[in-house]
Amino acid sequence: MKRLLLCFLLLTAVQLVHAQYYKTDTTRKKEFDASRLIIGGSLGLAFGDYTNINISPMVGYRISQLFAAGLAINAQYGSERFRDYYGNTGQRNQYSIFGGGVWGRVYPMDFLFIHIQPEYNHINLKSTYYDTDPKTVVKDSYGVSSLLMGGGYTQPIGGNAAFSIMALYDVLQDSKSPYQNGLILRVGATIGL
């Protein structure tokens, strides 16, 4: 009997905490609230035989304690150099990517989120082959769709700012996707207004 009473009290306490956590202010009018705006993104830099400069701003709105959604822009420049056994450049690829899409997040806990981001990118590619005489240049331009899915962790860093890290994977795996067969790790910051 004591165990049954203890289980009942524990379940009641959990339900009260759960209700308090997701409780919203019902006295407030349903209108735009600037404090729920999210502005942020990520910046990536890599230099060497593989060079990548990535600027990915995002803007969104915290719809509720559980949901947020918004728009993302993806702008990248990159180059990769392939060398032969003697260290001579045999091929160099240069590309620029511009695109974006929408994103959505579900926060099962304040610090964990599930992220989904369908996006469309336009890619310009220039490949230079140095092992031919004269060197050969091939250019290509195309668009490609991606569906990034994954999750992440967010940590407040004071005021309305937060640091986040997430791991994403392109589930469509188009052969021309810039996210082929790899885990995408993004580190960024968001600022609420």
| Mean pLDDT score, 15-19 | 29
pTM above 0.75, yes or no: no
Q: What's the CA gap between 35 and 67, in Å, rounded?
A: 15
Choose among 176, 178, 153: nearest CA to 163: 153
Lowest mean pLDDT among 23-27, 51-55, 133-137: 23-27
Q: Span 128-142, mean pLDDT?
A: 92
Contact (Cβ atoms closer than 8 angstroms) between residue 144 and residue 173 = no
Beta bridge partners of 71: 59, 102
Distance CA 19, CA 5 (A): 21
Look at 7-11, 100-104, 119-123, 178-182 and tell me which has the smallest mean pLDDT. 7-11
Angstrom distance (rounded) from CA 97 to CA 154: 27
